Amino acid sequence: MEESKPKQTRKRKPRSKGLGDTVEKITTATGIKALVKFAFGEDCGCDKRKEYLNKKFPYFKPNCLTEDEYNYLTKFFEVKKLSIRPTEQNELLKIYNRVLNQKQEPTNCSDCWRDIINKIKTVYDAYETN
């Protein structure tokens, strides 16, 4: 009786989040990254540069806002707020996760909420300019 060998699965490389990930893949494949690390040490600034480029030039294609989401955001952004009620957090998180294809869980982190709202605002502003 012949024993079956377990299938070898090839690890998938994670998708690039932005330009920084793409640059890292290219510099790794060409050997430039290893050379830079050899010349400048482990803390050569590559990770900071990658994060900066990913934030500045992200790869994401947001889904369109629904009419209800757009109307909700219009009312939400009309007033400058210092705090967000839990009901608002739930609604914003639903919009954020659907429109930006995320799986963000509820959080109490104010920096996280600032990022979430800024990303939603970027999408909302695209509607306002068109």
Residue 12's pLDDT band, with cuts at 50, 70 and 90, is: low
Instruction: For CA atoms 120, 121, 125, 128, give the dihedral sign.
Output: positive
Q: What is the pLDDT of residues 37-92, one digit of tens each?
A: 888 888 888 888 888 888 877 777 788 999 999 999 999 999 988 889 999 999 99
User: 0.75 exceeded by the pTM?
Assistant: no
Q: Which residues contact 91 (CB under 8 A, 6 or more apart)?
A: 72
Q: Name the residue with higher pLDDT: 39 or 130.
A: 39
Between vectors from CA 68 to CA 64 and to CA 74, what angle results, nearest 5°?
90
